[in-house]
């Protein structure tokens, strides 16, 4: 689901990818419409790098992103499989196993790709 990033979204995106100079996808020239796909596909150099980046999220920020995933506002369709697995593990460990299962279901539902 395409959305305009809120100030909170932008703050989280810049926390995860401080090198993000603007909010435009270099490949398409379009504005980013989500937080995690750009981090996974444009900024993280590996699954380990992605894991390190998302580990910097506070519990409140992680819960916020989780809620956005569950409402369909934060797409996971473009997130690399290894990165999605790291996110699910973090949600499992820091929020709850039940929320992690819901995120897995959202990921497996084939949500559209919003970068």
pLDDT tens, residue by residue, 16-28 = 998 876 665 445 4
Domain extents for the chain? 7-108
Q: What is the mean pLDDT of residues 6-10?
A: 91
d(CA 42, CA 91): 22
The pLDDT assigned to 108 comes to: 86
What pTM did the predictor assign?
0.86
Residue 90 has pLDDT above 50, yes or no: yes
Strand partners for 31: 24
Output the pLDDT for position 115: 41
Q: What is the CB neighbour count within 10 angstroms for residue 46?
A: 11
């Amino acid at each position: 689901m395409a959305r305009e990033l809120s100030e909170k979204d932008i703050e989280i995106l810049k926390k995860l990818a401080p090198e993000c100079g603007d909010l435009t996808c270099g490949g398409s020239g379009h504005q980013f419409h989500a937080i995690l796909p750009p981090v996974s596909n444009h900024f993280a150099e590996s699954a380990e790098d992605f894991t390190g980046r998302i580990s910097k999220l506070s519990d409140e920020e992680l819960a916020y992103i989780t809620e956005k995933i569950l409402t369909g506002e934060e797409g996971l369709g473009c997130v690399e499989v290894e990165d999605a697995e790291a996110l699910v593990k973090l949600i499992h460990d820091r929020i709850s196993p039940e929320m992690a299962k819901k995120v897995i279901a959202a990921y497996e539902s084939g949500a559209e790709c919003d970068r």
